Amino acid sequence: MDTLSWHWVFYVNVPIALLAITLVAIFYQSPKRQAAGKPVDYLGACLLVVSLVTILVAVQLIGSASGWLVTLLLVIGLLLLVWMVRVDSQAADPIVPSRLFKNRELVIDFLLFVIIWGSFIAFVTYIPMWAQGLLGLSALLGGMTQIPGAVTNFIGSELVPLLQDRWGKYWLVTCGAATIFIAFVGILLGGQRAPFWLLLLMGAFEGFGVGLVFNILQISVQTDAELRDVPIATSLGYLLRILSQTLMAAVYGVILNQELFRGVQKYHGDITMRMLNKLSNAETANQLPHALVPTMRQILYSGYRNIVIAAVVLIVLSLLIVVPLALRSHPQKVR
């Protein structure tokens, strides 16, 4: 972003994708196709896709479209989802079997996935922006806030096989969620002038917690499901994480925009949304009136702080769910 346009965020993936396609085409050997079994649940699949897209579009429009349009799309999406459930209840091979949601352990796995992933996405999205907008750093240095987390994520993931027999999954999830909680609280305590080293340190905490949580939960989804449901449970767990990411990204965007709009209105035109957008880019920030920069950073900080608070609420919710389960559980080997 400091040297090239934003388009290169996507272009850089093209050679990687081409290499992956080439390797799959050369080395992947497809197994022999078995005889046809139960009919595919095409109607259920279409209803699931259309309902989720409708709901996500509605969420994305919050704050930028009229309330009645958002409400209408939400109602349509929910009605389509109800229709999908009814169709799947009668299908020979449903796209999402209802028996998955009768498995208490599996439902808890899914719930923790959704809540913690929704919280985690705030860190990877907004902490680089925090470094750029509040500390005046370049996009390169903003991106570097994620490097410690990438390293400690690997460490946390590698510790899971060593600790799962001794601690059990709920204690591991508790430890991981608590570590993510520390990362967010550390950012809040650092405040608007939190130094760059603190962002790096809290990034290390966040990465370690994520490494613990998602490794053990992914294993748990596959072991808590019935053998016949392992593929669909794995896919559903991934889908729920993506939906949580998309939904919470939209929610965080609304939180930020509302705070920025409040700040703009407070200063009666002296500060505009365009000026606040320029503040997040180290190159364009130099073009802004120097006398107004501290005030604009205060407005931006209020938005980022509210996002972090929302993420903390989600993490606390996950801890309220998992800590009682950990206290009642005994270490049990994950198969």
pTM above 0.85, yes or no: no
The residue among 222, 152, 185, 219 whose CA lies nearest residue 319 is: 185
- Render pLDDT for 139-195 as a digit per residue (tens, 0 to 9): 888 889 999 999 999 999 888 888 887 888 899 999 999 999 999 999 999 988 889
Q: Which secondary-structure segment (H or E) carries 245? A: helix 230-266
Choose one of 28, 61, 96: the last residue of a domain.
96
Choose one of 96, 113, 141: the last residue of a domain.
96
Residues 269 and 129 placed together within one structural domain of the fold? yes
Residues 197 and 61 placed together within one structural domain of the fold? no
Supply φ then ψ for residue 7, to 5 degrees: -60, -30
Q: Please, are residues 131 and 195 in contact by the beta-carbon 8 Å criterion?
A: no
Choose one of 48, 75, 96: the last residue of a domain.
96
Q: What is the pLDDT, as a whole number, of residue 184?
A: 95
Examine residue 47 and state whether it is found in any structural domain, yes or no. Answer: yes
Tell me the range of 1-15, 119-133, 216-230 where mean pLDDT is highest. 119-133
Q: What is the pLDDT, as a whole number, of residue 98?
A: 80
Supply φ then ψ for residue 133, to 5 degrees: -75, -35
Q: What beta strand segments (E) does 270-327 contain?
A: none
Residues 132 and 169 placed together within one structural domain of the fold? yes
How far is residue 64's CA from residue 62's CA, in Å, rounded to a whole number? 6
State CA 265 to chain mean position distance. Answer: 31
Residues 210 and 266 placed together within one structural domain of the fold? yes
Residues 118 and 74 placed together within one structural domain of the fold? no
How far is residue 81's CA from residue 44's CA, in Å, rounded to a whole number? 9
Examine residue 323 and state whether it is found in any structural domain, yes or no. Answer: yes
Residue 78 or 293, more confident? 78
Task: Quote the number of domains for the chain.
Answer: 2
Residues 159 and 224 placed together within one structural domain of the fold? yes
- Render pLDDT for 65-101 as a digit per residue (tens, 0 to 9): 778 888 899 899 999 989 988 887 777 778 788 888 8
Residues 153 and 213 placed together within one structural domain of the fold? yes
Host domain of residue 223: 104-328
Examine residue 4 and state whether it is found in any structural domain, yes or no. Answer: no
pLDDT tier for residue 335 given thresholds of 50, 70 and 90 = very low
pLDDT at 33 over 90: no
Residues 235 and 271 placed together within one structural domain of the fold? yes
Report which DSSP code applies to 40: P
Q: What is the pLDDT, as a whole number, of residue 30?
A: 57
The CATH code of the domain that includes 264 is 1.20.1250.20
Examine residue 27 and state whether it is found in any structural domain, yes or no. Answer: no
Q: What is the pLDDT, as a whole number, of residue 29?
A: 65
- Render pLDDT for 227-245 as a digit per residue (tens, 0 to 9): 888 888 888 888 888 888 8
Residue 10 or 335, more confident? 10
Examine residue 51 and state whether it is found in any structural domain, yes or no. Answer: yes
Residues 143 and 46 placed together within one structural domain of the fold? no
Task: Provide mean pLDDT across the span 202-224.
Answer: 90
Residues 53 and 182 placed together within one structural domain of the fold? no
Tell me which residue has tokens 């999406």. Answer: 77
Supply φ then ψ for residue 97, to 5 degrees: -60, 135
- Render pLDDT for 259-288 as a digit per residue (tens, 0 to 9): 888 888 887 777 888 888 788 776 777 778
pLDDT above 70: percentage of residues in the chain? 91
Q: Please, are residues 321 and 217 in contact by the beta-carbon 8 Å criterion?
A: no
Cα–Cα distances (Å) from 50 to 47, 78, 95, 108, 331, in that order, read: 5, 10, 14, 26, 42
Examine residue 18 and state whether it is found in any structural domain, yes or no. Answer: no
Residue 1 or 278, more confident? 278
How far is residue 310's CA from residue 122's CA, in Å, rounded to a whole number? 9
Residue 3 or 249, more confident? 249
Q: What is the pLDDT, as a whole number, of residue 209?
A: 93
- Planar angle of CA 143, 146, 151, nearest 5 degrees: 140
How far is residue 323's CA from residue 80's CA, in Å, rounded to a whole number? 35
- Enumerate residues 6+ apart whose C-beta is below 8 A from 333: 164, 165
How far is residue 333's CA from residue 335's CA, in Å, rounded to a whole number? 6
3-state SS assignment for residue 67: helix
Cα–Cα distances (Å) from 281 to 138, 236, 269, in that order, read: 7, 37, 21
Query: How much is the mean pLDDT over the chain?
Result: 84
- Render pLDDT for 306-323 as a digit per residue (tens, 0 to 9): 999 999 999 999 999 999
Residues 89 and 235 placed together within one structural domain of the fold? no
Examine residue 231 and state whether it is found in any structural domain, yes or no. Answer: yes
- Enumerate residues 6+ apart whose C-beta is below 8 A from 180: 116, 119, 120, 123, 205, 206, 209, 210, 213, 315
Q: What is the pLDDT, as a whole number, of residue 188?
A: 94
Tell me which residue has tokens 């396609």. Answer: 21
Residues 212 and 75 placed together within one structural domain of the fold? no
Examine residue 202 and state whether it is found in any structural domain, yes or no. Answer: yes
